[in-house]
Amino acid sequence: MELIKEEKLLKKKLNKLFLLHFNKKKYIINMIGDVMKKGFTLIEVIAVIAIISVLMVLAIPNILNNVSNKRNEVSDTAKEMIYSAADMYVKENAINYPIEENAKYCIKLETLVNNGKLVAPVKDLKNGKEIPLNNYVKVDINNYEQYEYSLVKNCE
């Protein structure tokens, strides 16, 4: 009788061990299955690529326009050089450019070169391009009788 009880106890223990072992395997298999399910589906990948493509189509033209506009602009250092030459020219020829409130004058870059204030060719140091001598320096005298300079193609 005791033997039967011990046999039953051993069977129970074996069943528990078997179930534990089986459950662990099942748990590990479920974990592997869950990991495999965490990948992206083809539709998700295509959707992400489509969204990125639309964003690029919208953004790239603006970026390219900004880059080309910056290339065509004259750098600040070149402008300062031209403005200081125009300032010297205006002060040396004060009779022709009197300080009057809201007065506007135009000086051709060619005139500044001819008077020795600039050296031809006038180049933009930033991009190496030559600044055309038919451009103008527009001189505005503000309400405080101070000179304000701007580089323009046509002076009106």
**Domain final residue pick, 38, 54, 70:** 70
By residue range, what is the domain housing residue 86? 76-152
Residues 93, 143, single domain; the answer is yes
Of the segments 7-16, 31-40, 55-64, 133-142, which one has the largest average pLDDT value?
55-64
- Is pLDDT at 41 greater than 90 in this prediction? no
Instruction: Looking at the structure, tell me whether residues 88 and 147 fall in a common domain.
Output: yes
Q: What is the pLDDT of residue 50?
A: 94
pLDDT of residue 123: 75
- Are 88 and 117 contacting, i.e. CB atoms less than 8 angstroms apart? yes
Q: Is 104 left (phi over 0), alpha (psi -120 to 50) or beta?
A: beta
Question: What's the CA gap between 26 and 41, in Å, rounded?
Answer: 25
Residue 106 placed within a domain: yes
12, part of any domain: no
pTM of the model: 0.51
Q: Is there a single domain that holds both residue 113 and residue 93?
A: yes
Q: What is the pLDDT of residues 88-145, one digit of tens each?
A: 888 887 777 777 777 788 888 788 888 888 877 877 777 777 777 788 888 887 777 7
The pLDDT assigned to 141 comes to 79
Q: How many residues does the chain have?
A: 156
First to last CA, the chain: 122
> Could you give the number of structural domains in the chain?
2
Q: Quick check: is 60 in a domain?
A: yes
Weakest-pLDDT range from 27-31, 84-88, 108-112:
27-31
Domain check: are 94 and 140 in the same one? yes
Q: Mapped to the 3 state alphabet, what secondary structure does the chain carry? A: CHHHHHHHHHHHHHHHHHHHHHHHHHHHHHHHHHHHHCCCCHHHHHHHHHHHHHHHHHHHHHHHHHHHHHHHCCCHHHHHHHHHHHHHHHHHCCCCCCCCCCCEEEEEHHHHHHCCCCCCCCECCCCCCECCCCCEEEEEECCCCCEEEEEECCCC
Does the structure show a pLDDT above 80 at 73? Answer: no
Band of residue 53 on the pLDDT scale cut at 50, 70, 90 = very high
109 with 136, same domain: the answer is yes
Residues 80 and 103 in one domain: yes
Per-residue pLDDT for 48 more than 80? yes
Say if residue 40 is in the same domain as residue 93. Answer: no
Asked which of 46, 70, 94 is the last residue of a domain, the reply is 70
Q: CA 106 from chain center: how many Å? A: 36
Do residue 66 and residue 88 come from a single domain? no
Answer whether residue 132 is part of any domain.
yes
